[in-house]
Structure 1
Amino acid sequence: MMIRRSAALLVILMAFATVTVADERYVLQYDAPAKDNLLGARTGKPKGIGYIQTALPLGNGRLGAMFSGGIDIEHLLINDITLWMNSKRGLDAVAQSGTRMVASTDFETVRKAYRDDKYGTKEGSMESLSTKYLSSTEPLGNYAPFTDLLISSGHDPASVRDYRRSLDSRNGLGTVSYSIGNGKYKREFFCSYPHDVVVARYIAEDATLDLTIQTTTQHTGAKVKAAGNRIVLSGKAKMVQDDVEFMQIVQVDAGDADVASQADGSIKISNARKVTIFLAGYCDYLPVYPTFKGRDYRGDCEHAIDAAAKLGFENLKRSHVDDVSAVMNRCRLELDFQPSGLTTDKLVAGDGSLELENLYFHYSRYLQLSCSRGAPVPSNLQGLWNADLKPAWNCDYHTDINVEMNYWMVDPANLSESFRPFTEWTKILAESGVHTARETFGVHKGWSMGLNGNVFGFTAQNVHGRRNQQSGHWLCQNLFDHYAFNQDRAYLEEIYPILKGAAEFFVEFLAPWKDGTLVVYPTWSPENSYLVKPHGKLNKQVYGASWDQQLVLNLFTDCIEASTVLGRDEDFRTTLQKMIPKLCPQKIGQHGQLQEWPEDWDSPTDTHRHISHLIALHPGRDISPLTTKELYEAALVTMRHRGDESTGWSTGWKTCFWSRLHNGDRAHKIYEFLTSKRAYPNLFDFHPPFQIDGNFGGAAGVCEMLLQSHLRSVNSDAKTIEEAAFVAYQMDPKQSRHFVPVVPDESLADAPYILHLLPALPSAWPNGKINGLKARGGMEVDIEWKNGQLAQATIHAGRDGAFRIYAQDQLSELISLKKGQSTVWPPTK
């Protein structure tokens, strides 16, 4: 026994002695534990800054955890991204969509109210009739917390010195360390993607560990049982129909220490030097419409925990670090600053710094990888991390920007595998949305999706008539853009039915307005009001909102390209080409602004957080300072009207907007505001409350400052970008302030992308470099700049392809590379 204990002690001493010093530029670090306001009786929603805003997140895309670093009690919040409650599943195919069964005469009644300008919210208005006839009465439900793991150490916080809590964004390792007397204590945490478990290790040097481990859940009726070194928790998340069952297993390896299970379901460990805790958890959810169940969650739990325990801590940690580091190291931003040594909360409390801006970018990439990978559903409003049975906005999927924004930075920041959950979820929506299209709108081809989504295929219209909208066109923009970056033909084959179905819906749904152009209605311009004085602040329903019209053009263009690449549906392609000129044009209004609606209703004093009518600027590609001068100037007016300060996600979007407008200093000003004034101590986005889309929107904005690749060269002989680039809108010769959609021909499918280097480099970043940005067309780009000017860029080909470079106001000739080849710009002499 003495020999075994000596060997164990040697391992512990080596663990302390050989710790690799992390690069603090990528590490969140604190000198105090998180504020744990979740412990004890949860009598209501915690207010102010607490656990969610100060604990540090771990995740593998499906399974998530946050750790508090508490000295006496370590609190790990556990989430499973597929665990929802308060909804329905297992209905027949039509009912599962949540759709409202609408007679054609009732739908026509609603549409007539729009044509008759029935504004406001009173009886007979657009909104009231949309609520009465179109809006679903089925429960959407909400994302639910999983469990809480509590580890009591018995340590007195008052006796602790040299406390440090950290999270390394480059490898996904969380650590806590401190001293008490002569004893040194260390904890490590990670959530493994290769092995689908949460792992924690406690180590004591010149001391021993006496721990109590227990697990709880907020879901009523759960059963917790401890036996030997294992705790099993089984429970149900309450549904309106067919409760979701789940299971969690916690297993402890304490070496030769005393381990005793307790009648209350806890485990006590005494006189330990090293303790490893493995946690596995699953629910019965499967992404199979309309049942959404069938996973062998118990078997999966047993298998995962047995495999993890057999491998042991060191093997699990090694595979985790190798896995996360390989992805995170693909893209590295290096701004020119000297690390201050300040803790992250103090950085946030300051007035902004390059150090914080650099860290925020890498942390956002880490969050993306942690909450969207290998799961059948995408990241939600809070990514993966939720502590509340009744979270804000259901912690659901808002399709009027939020879920789309969650995925803007995935490809440019070189995290393409994080996109798969979005694709899988959209497949379910397309299957469900066929019923909503037919039963609510009388459209017999294609699919429809409303404002709010869940994991059970809900595609119906929101319960409030003023929130009636379509979103298939925006979801498909994300889908096709992923193809644009990666040029994966097999993926395009996979998503083409979704793109086509969305386009088919709009072919039938679009209707002529008073001027004869085709518009989308019912709709709104999220979430803005118009004609507020005569009709009230909830006057939101409208026809032909600019964002809808821009996205329909975007969708039709993408469908034309996809069908051309795949060599199918020529007749349908022709149908789309014939419809495009009939779409309502984009218009410049009386204040010089890009109109938000077909009528000139915009107000210069409107500072609404949504700027949906600039979707063609970003994340679209159809407004540019380089190609559409008049629309660019109108977009500038709109941005000046809306102002700079807003909610977290809106601030992230404005960073992207100003980058696309090639105003790097304005983009940086907003990014600086986002990182220093719209971030909690753990850098979660401050909406308020917490929403993760701001993190992802801000990181997308950084990518846009340094590289843009959305323009295409359709004229290989052109010497200027104005002559070379495809333009989606052209001035109406009859009305100079109207811009009509342009019909793309099949040649666009072969048009190379233009890589614009440093399009919006801020003066606050005079020197720096970034490696591993992705460009559309399948290229990766490394860029270095000095004194505010491009020093060198290296373009690496991920596939055979051609592109042009636009840098320092010059457009290159066509450059062709084979997969694996690289080229340097400017060319070496």
Structure 2
Amino acid sequence: MKLRYDGPAPGWKQGLPLGNGRLGAVVYGDGASETWCITELTYWSGKSEPAVTASQGKSDIDAMRELFYAGNYVEGEEMASRLLQAEKRNFGTNLSLCDVRLSFAGGDQGESMTRELNLEEAVYRAVSTSTRTSTSKNMAVDDSSLIRETIASHPNNVIASHVRREGITVGGVAFTLRLEGRTDRFDARASGDDMLVFESQATETMHSDGTCGVKSRGAVHVVAAGGSVTLQDAAIVVDGADEAWIYFAVETDYRREDEAWEQEAASRVKQAAEQGYSQVREAHIADFKQLYGRVEADFGDSGASALPIDERVRLLRGGGDDPQLFTLFFQYGRYLMIAGSRHDSPLPMHLQGIWNDGEANRMAWSCDYHLDVNSEMNYYGAEAANLAECHLPLMRYIERLAEAGRETARSYYGCEGWTAHVFSNAWGFTEPGWHYSWGLNVTGGLWIANQLREHYEYGRSESFLRESAYPVLKESALFFLDYMTIHPKYGWLVTGPSNSPENSFYVGGSRDRSYTLSMGPTMDQSLVRDLFAFCLEASEQLGVDEPLRERLRQAIELLPPLQIGKSGQLQEWLEDYGEAQPDHRHLSHLYALYPGGQITPHGTPELSEAARRTLTMRMRDEGLEDVEFTLALFAASFARLHDGDRAYDQLSYLIAELCFDNLLTYSKAGIAGAETNIFVADGNFGAAAAVTEMLLQSHAGEIHLLPALPFQWHTGRITGLRARGNAEVDIEWQGGELITATIHSHAQLETVVRYGEGIVPITLAAGESCRLERSAFAAEEQLR
């Protein structure tokens, strides 16, 4: 489980990511230099601002709805543009903080080099071999290797590095360290003989006015054995050392009201240095393994695993067989989850996780929270991949979002409860986006809040249900009960005006103009149905809000059914409109298939075929947008349809065609206004989630083993996957057939286990396990 490369990394897209849940670094370089591109999760431009709208609430919404009911989409959208669009103002973005630049004496760009990221230990290592003589007055080099090892420690909250040279016993290490700010307001200066301190502010002018943003203070401390460490022209210079250690830390004033944060980074690097690198490293690995080591996977090895990663990807692109590369990609997703989101992270991961190449921030894109799939996808696999603690920052963020969304619900719609739309930021932005065509996604907040339900269903913590999930989702339900209206034609309870992210449609036979707003898009109705059903069940379980239950029961009866269109597809809207963009990247109306559970092959076969038809129709068009999150959705959706080979094809294409050399996924230039290929983390996380769906599903009231096993993974094993109901599952298979599965229950569990057409009922107390072999399911199939 290593990302290994032969040769240097000339830039960010070849660099390898480290993170401790708050600090991130992408490390790249060659024999002569190394760069750490540093990011910090709370380093946001912008600020919190009150909601501003011209809407008069329900009266304006009712007038707008009458236009849509009458088929007057032109005036309906014009009215929405006047009343239901927020201005961007100081929305902000997460910014790159700075670059730590190391220049090594005696190194050369052309010398041989190997680089690797050990996923099992979260350790970066680079080895460059030189046969030249150094110009440093204190050292002579002839055939030696410079070794750099770097970690992002969560226990110590520092980035730490060890630099040494093999082949020389004395004085073999010499380098210069400088800091380069990524924002205009960045100032670095010397502190003592071995430390640089800096202060900065996250300001920019694309997403805010250039005056507001989080402030930071940080420090870099260097310790050497032998030789000298000096400060020269705001740079740390190490010369003639036997080995050296570097410690980096930063703190910000985000959500801080005291002044103690200003000195914390400098104190932290000194403490880490006093503790010593070996102890910092040991604590880091133990802390990381406690999470990473829960899941072990092996999908088989074709022999390609001995090759460097870039060569393996080229072979896969040419049709090669490398099942272990998929294992690596799955575990890489889990690695990035641990690196990017810890139980104590102050914010959840944004569009680029916690890393940032700077590309999105210089254009209309932004490193923010996209609530119409991208932020959710970052965490789709958290529970099943046995990283529930990594999900917690999102839980806290949703609670704050719900608080901010009360004012939006009141001012825009005149409704109780809370709502949020398509984008959000570090400050809890909940208004519609600044164009109705994509910004008026009224269920964006509900979509992200559904992760609370996921966290509860996997862990079954009643305290979490009572104190977090139910209160937040109940207030969302109150909003929709107040906001939704009866459709005069159908008698259904519908949302609207709202869009189906971020698609458009034609009305009637005319192709002169497409529209984005309508009443009751399928996406909205699927989310609301899950919301009402969850709140009804939770209310009964907790013994609260009995009057609300009857309102929910009545509302559920009035919700529109999922519908099949004239082409056999799952309808995206309440009406069977013509698709203006049949190759669109978003698949939001398939939420009921994935990640929802309303469509299942065994429970709703006709709807399942309609969902399959929708997927194949999207794939058929030559203009299909190549987007990382779409490929992950295709893979997970085919897995839900029990089509492992199709799911495999999507993952294969994602790895081979939509990953940089460092296996970070990207969105292609030209899509959604992107000016270049842009790293977007959701492809990595979505792919890991899709792998779990291929091997284990638990959304349909059962634990389903190997529901979508592809031919290429015919023999393998996986341990530690998590199922709903607070259970862990170990699976082993050979020749495409189950050998054995073991269910470990951490709570009272009564369910059925499915393999193929066979089902076996099980009842386990907390702490109990059961082992099931293939023969148990074969016997059940014969009985059926």
Give the TM-score of the pair, scaled to structure 2: 0.90
Contact 1:184 1:204 in 2 (8 A): yes
Matches within 5 A, 1:289-438: 296-340=260-304, 341-350=306-315, 351=317, 353-373=322-342, 374-388=344-358, 389-390=361-362, 393-438=365-410
Equivalent position of 2:243 in the other structure: 274
Code of the aligned partner of 1:693: D
**Given the superposition, is the C-alpha separation of residues 667 and 387 from structure 1 closer, same or farther in structure 2, using an over 3 Å criterion?**
closer
What CA distance in whole angstroms lies between the structure 1 residues aligned with 2:495 and 2:645?
A: 36
Equivalent position of 1:103 in the other structure: 56
Equivalent position of 1:597 in the other structure: 573
Equivalent position of 1:190 in the other structure: 151
Contact 2:201 2:214 in 1 (8 A): yes
Equivalent position of 1:456 in the other structure: 427
Code of the aligned partner of 1:710: H
Equivalent position of 2:738 in the other structure: 790
Code of the aligned partner of 1:464: H
**Given the superposition, is the C-alpha separation of residues 127 and 140 from structure 1 closer, same or farther in structure 2, using an over 3 Å criterion?**
farther
What CA distance in whole angstroms lies between the structure 1 residues aligned with 2:732 and 2:338?
A: 25
Contact 1:591 1:604 in 2 (8 A): no
Secondary structure of the corresponding residue to residue 394 of structure 1? coil
Secondary structure of the corresponding residue to residue 450 of structure 1? coil
Equivalent position of 1:151 in the other structure: 102
Equivalent position of 2:770 in the other structure: 823
Contact 1:225 1:232 in 2 (8 A): yes
Contact 1:151 1:213 in 2 (8 A): yes
Contact 1:165 1:176 in 2 (8 A): yes
What CA distance in whole angstroms lies between the structure 2 residues aligned with 1:536 and 1:59?
A: 50
Alignment pair present for 1:236 and 2:201: yes
Secondary structure of the corresponding residue to residue 684 of structure 2? helix
Equivalent position of 2:138 in the other structure: none
What CA distance in whole angstroms lies between the structure 2 residues aligned with 1:540 and 1:594?
A: 18
Stretches of structure 2 lacking an aligned partner (at least 5 in a row): 132-142, 669-677, 777-784
**Given the superposition, is the C-alpha separation of residues 141 and 537 from structure 1 closer, same or farther in structure 2, using an over 3 Å criterion?**
farther
Equivalent position of 1:54 in the other structure: 14
**Given the superposition, is the C-alpha separation of residues 183 and 775 from structure 1 closer, same or farther in structure 2, using an over 3 Å criterion?**
same
Fraction of identical pairs, as percent: 33
Equivalent position of 1:755 in the other structure: 703
Code of the aligned partner of 1:326: Q
Alignment pair present for 1:563 and 2:557: no
**Given the superposition, is the C-alpha separation of residues 525 and 604 from structure 1 closer, same or farther in structure 2, using an over 3 Å criterion?**
closer
Equivalent position of 2:465 in the other structure: 492
Equivalent position of 1:613 in the other structure: 589
1:101 offset after TM fit, Å?
4.9
The Cα RMSD (Å) is 1.9
Contact 2:419 2:446 in 1 (8 A): no
Code of the aligned partner of 2:122: G
What CA distance in whole angstroms lies between the structure 2 residues aligned with 1:535 and 1:446?
A: 39
Equivalent position of 1:691 in the other structure: 680
Secondary structure of the corresponding residue to residue 439 of structure 1? helix
**Given the superposition, is the C-alpha separation of residues 528 and 189 from structure 1 closer, same or farther in structure 2, using an over 3 Å criterion?**
same
Q: Please give the per-residue CA displacement for 1:654-681, whole angstroms capped at 9, x wherever unaligned.
A: 1000000011111111111111122111
Alignment pair present for 1:31 and 2:31: no
Equivalent position of 2:136 in the other structure: none
Alignment pair present for 1:168 and 2:118: yes
1:113 offset after TM fit, Å?
3.0
Contact 2:738 2:774 in 1 (8 A): no
Stretches of structure 1 lacking an aligned partner (at least 5 in a row): 1-25, 37-50, 287-291, 713-753
1:60 offset after TM fit, Å?
0.9
Equivalent position of 1:223 in the other structure: 187
Matches within 5 A, 1:697-776: 697-712=686-701, 754-776=702-724
Q: Please give the per-residue CA displacement for 1:381-434, whole angstroms capped at 9, x wherever unaligned.
A: 111111325266211111111001111110111111110111111111100000
1:526 offset after TM fit, Å?
0.9
Code of the aligned partner of 2:339: S
Secondary structure of the corresponding residue to residue 176 of structure 1? strand
1:109 offset after TM fit, Å?
3.7
What is the aligned residue count?
A: 728
Secondary structure of the corresponding residue to residue 587 of structure 1? coil
Code of the aligned partner of 2:485: A
Equivalent position of 2:137 in the other structure: none
What CA distance in whole angstroms lies between the structure 2 residues aligned with 1:158 and 1:762?
A: 43
**Given the superposition, is the C-alpha separation of residues 139 and 760 from structure 1 closer, same or farther in structure 2, using an over 3 Å criterion?**
same
Contact 1:69 1:176 in 2 (8 A): no
Code of the aligned partner of 2:173: L
Equivalent position of 1:63 in the other structure: 23
Code of the aligned partner of 2:458: F
- Which of 72, 91, 94 pairs up with 1:118? 72
Equivalent position of 1:649 in the other structure: 629
Secondary structure of the corresponding residue to residue 254 of structure 2? coil
What CA distance in whole angstroms lies between the structure 2 residues aligned with 1:481 and 1:670?
A: 25
Equivalent position of 1:747 in the other structure: none
**Given the superposition, is the C-alpha separation of residues 127 and 300 from structure 1 closer, same or farther in structure 2, using an over 3 Å criterion?**
farther
Contact 1:503 1:556 in 2 (8 A): yes
What CA distance in whole angstroms lies between the structure 2 residues aligned with 1:99 and 1:625?
A: 46
Contact 2:30 2:109 in 1 (8 A): no
What CA distance in whole angstroms lies between the structure 1 residues aligned with 2:690 and 2:774?
A: 28
- Which of 178, 194, 216 pairs up with 2:128? 178
What CA distance in whole angstroms lies between the structure 1 residues aligned with 2:423 and 2:33?
A: 38
Secondary structure of the corresponding residue to residue 266 of structure 2? helix
Q: Please give the per-residue CA displacement for 1:445-487, whole angstroms capped at 9, x wherever unaligned.
A: 2101010100001000101011211223212221101110111
Contact 2:503 2:581 in 1 (8 A): no
What CA distance in whole angstroms lies between the structure 2 residues aligned with 1:305 and 1:519?
A: 56
Secondary structure of the corresponding residue to residue 86 of structure 2? coil
Contact 1:69 1:165 in 2 (8 A): no
Secondary structure of the corresponding residue to residue 636 of structure 1? helix
1:629 offset after TM fit, Å?
1.5
1:536 offset after TM fit, Å?
5.4
1:626 offset after TM fit, Å?
0.5
Contact 1:799 1:818 in 2 (8 A): yes
1:293 offset after TM fit, Å?
5.6
1:587 offset after TM fit, Å?
1.1
What CA distance in whole angstroms lies between the structure 2 residues aligned with 1:404 and 1:82?
A: 19
Code of the aligned partner of 1:404: E
What CA distance in whole angstroms lies between the structure 2 residues aligned with 1:295 and 1:171?
A: 35
Secondary structure of the corresponding residue to residue 29 of structure 2? coil
